[in-house]
A and B are shown apart, each in its own frame.
Chain A
Amino acid sequence: MNDLQSLLNELMNNLAKIVLDSRLNDDIDREEAQEIAQFILEEKRKISSAGQIDGFLNKLKEKYYFIFRDFVDNYLKQKEAQTKDQQTIEKVKQQLLNLVN
């Protein structure tokens, strides 16, 4: 399984949990759950690179705001923090390399 695939699998698990929770709490009915699940699966099939995931999530948040708002916001924040950390590590690495050279 490649990185994108495992990323999407994890995402699908998270989104399925949100849909199921909403359904079991009766926040949405069966027909709404069906519509949301169809939307997620259709959009997921269009994704061919990790870069497209943010767009997909924002679309999802926009369309079903009250259901996915918290998850998408947290997901994107977490991702931003990870990117920042990565950049800092890269910067430090570069500085160390410069010192060595």
Chain B
Amino acid sequence: MTDPTVTSEVTISQENLTKMALELVKPTQGGTGLEERAVAAWRAGQGEKSLQMIAGEVCPWGPDDVIGVVRENLSSEDRDPRTGQKKEPKAGTPEGNRCSETEQIALACQEYLEKGGEPPNVLVDSVIAYLANTPLRDAIYNSDGTIKDQSEAEAIARALLREQKTRQKMYQFFIDRLDPTKRLPHEQRVQDLRKEVNRLRAQVNLGVAIDRQIDKILTEIRTSELEIRSDKNFASYQQKLNELMSLKKAYESFTAAHVSGSQQKPSFRDYFPNKFTNIAEVHQQIASLEQSLKNDPEFSNINELLSRIDTHQKQLQSLHAKKSTIDSEEQKRLTEELKAKEAELQDAEALLRAERIKYASEIIAIPKEAVKAYLNEALADVAASYKEQARKDAQEKAKQEEQKKQEEARMLGQAVEKLAYALSTKKDRKGVHIPNRKMAKIWLDLLHQPGGLEKFIGEVAKDEQTLIGFGLTQQEAQLILSKKTDPEFINKIVGENLAPSVLADYLRAGGRLSEKEVDSIARSQWGRTLIEKGLQMAQERKRVGKDLMGRLDELRANFKSADLLVGLGGIGILLILLLKLGVFK
């Protein structure tokens, strides 16, 4: 463990903080309580009720279920032996407050889902608070965060809670999060670790307890010894004891010298004081001293204390023997294991606490999340409808632009046709358009110049009035004016149609181009196109004219035979036909 982080309630290791963070973002898994209740209803022959539970029409859990699962998962208190349920956390503690708030919201959801009708106030308040973070904020809150109109805010929150989609979502969250079979992942882990830690503690404490007992007995022995020394007869006792010990020692030495079998017999006097004349007297004195030390009433306290010390010594021997059976290596291992398990337990308790906080938050958030889900769906529908409208608008716009383009192209074609007609033709005295060599020449002279096409169209489309003068409508004139600097218009329309038409009229009217003029025009690409197209147009018009004339002769012959030609003014018909067929274009 490195760098433990201290929170207001627990100490959490760094690695467990990471683990905890990962755990906290995982969605809570629901149990199978709903299905179990639905199966139970089905087994009882209530198929429809079973379906109603699954459909969310009937709330499968009552208030007791709700309180049970909340306390089971949020309380760290012991179980009530009578009910088997966890006790309510202590009021006023963070855990107590959390549990109480969670129970309040959970019971309100249960009541609303089961009975329907008006949403309980606690749900309404929760939704009003949530709306501060939604697009509906401005409808409810002032800029300083105060509510504009409490009753209006409540009406909005109630309306949102009454929405079918909101109820459905609330039901789903309720079923998932308040399933009576639901347990937090670390609850069991903490219980298992607690058991293990208690077991290890008992094992580790056995050696310590023996040491404590040995210390206690040694203290008692020392106390008894002190008491013996402080006894008023201790000096007399000590004296007698010393005499006894001395005699016994002398006797043992004397006996040992005898038994060794050395050639010279040991002298009695060398071993014993003068008061003893023979060994029998020594024996008698030893017995007398022993008798006195043991039974003399003045030594009764000392003897009692000595007897106590003896008992303690026996106890000590037994404890030492017991302690020697506990392997010190094993004891060390158990102590280390205990420390590791205690640390593990602390981390698991921290994780469990975090899970409890998360679980409480998830339940408290049920009304908000249900409304949020409804709003998201509703807003998604609005967005989809906007998108659809935008798509339709774009389609319509594209269609209109296409139509406008077509109309413009049509108008442009018509305007160019009119211009071609007016620029290099003239009306004869019968009002028929015929090529006008003089006018055509004027335009061709312009075209000969460098930048001829631009100069030509610049002159033709000098201004609106000039164009109207050529027979164009105001709209057509404006269109030509808007196009006259457009390179595509100049090259394609002017270069390939209008200018060649002028040349064709010039040639049809009997005009000729000198070699120099041809050379001058043919210097540019447009100039070569002008000559090619102009010749082509002139030949085409000539061919069509001849063809029509032939057909007209035929027609005239027919009219003659029918004697109708004079009456109808044949030449007039001819001219009308030529005009209609575009011979003079």
Contacts and interface: CB of A to CB of B under 8 A. Distances in A.
Nearest to B47: A13
Given A20-B39, A23-B35, A34 B54 contact: yes
B38 A13 contact: no
Interface string A53-67: 000000000000000
* Chain A contact residues, majority secondary structure: helix
A69 to B, nearest CB: 19
Contacts of B39: 20, 24
Interface string A1-25: 0000000010011111101100110
A24 B55 contact: no
B51 A40 contact: yes
A36 B56 CA distance: 11
B77 interface: no
Nearest to A39: B55
Contact of B54 (A9, A14, A37): A37
A37 B30 contact: no
Contact of B34 (A12, A16, A30): A30
Contacts of B55: 34, 37-38, 40-41
A12 B172 contact: no
A30 B48 CA distance: 17
A70 interface: no
A20 B45 contact: no
Contact of B35 (A24, A40, A41): A24
A12 B578 CA distance: 88
Contacts of B57: 38, 41
B175 interface: yes
* Chain B contact residues, majority secondary structure: helix
Interface of B: 30, 34-35, 38-39, 42, 45, 47-48, 50-52, 54-57, 168, 172, 175-176
A30 B47 contact: no
Interface of A: 9, 12-17, 19-20, 23-24, 30-31, 33-34, 36-38, 40-41, 44
Contacts of A38: 55-57
Contacts of A16: 38, 42, 47-48, 50-51, 54
A40 B56 CA distance: 13
Given A30-B30, A31-B172, A34-B56, A19 B51 contact: yes
Given A30-B34, A31-B172, A41 B51 contact: yes
A13 B54 CA distance: 13
Contact of A37 (B45, B52, B176): B52
Given A13-B42, A34-B168, 15 more contacts: A15-B51, A16-B42, A17-B42, A20-B39, A20-B42, A23-B35, A24-B35, A24-B39, A30-B34, A30-B172, A30-B176, A33-B54, A34-B56, A38-B57, A41-B55
A96 B294 CA distance: 130
Q: Which are the 6 A-B pairs with shortest beta-carbon distances? A: A13-B47, A37-B55, A16-B47, A12-B47, A37-B54, A16-B50
A30 B56 CA distance: 11
B172 A37 contact: no
Contacts of B52: 37, 41
